[in-house]
Amino acid sequence: MDQLVFEPKAKTPLINFDGKSGLMELKGMSCSENSLEFYKPVLDWVEKYGKSPHGSTVVNIEFKYFNTSSAKCILDVLEKFANIYNMGNNVVFNWNYENNDEEMLEAGENFSEILGIPFNIKEL
């Protein structure tokens, strides 16, 4: 499966999903005016990836900030990876947050709890 790469911009994060290596990265800011439009191709890609995932998938997440509409879309993306995990595949979720960023720490804990999937949560 090919890569999906969106370079980071002022209001959208880096998306670097590599279907061949199983390494997935979401990083930066997510506060787009139209989060649904931005995340639609990401959701479609993960849906397709889930049909034949790599033997080991690592999802690295590191947001500086995301708005409410992005939070729902990010949760939708993580839910697609959680479905892959729940089908018995090896998926590791690494949630990284900046030093003393309590909001991002809580967001990682909340996403992990909502999905019922263990996250490795690490302060950078």
From start to end of the chain, where are the E strands? 3-6, 14-18, 23-30, 56-66, 90-97, 119-123
Give the pLDDT of residue 1.
76
The pLDDT of residue 29: 98
* CATH code of 108's domain: 3.30.750
Number of structural domains found in the chain: 1
Two tokens, residue 85: 């995990």
> Where in the sequence is the domain holding 64, given as residue range(s)?
3-123
Mean pLDDT per 10-residue section of the chain, whose length is 124 residues: 94 98 98 96 98 97 97 98 97 97 98 98 97
Find all residues with CB under 8 Å of 31, minimum gap 6, and list them: 11, 65, 66, 67, 70
N-terminal to C-terminal alpha carbon distance within the chain: 31
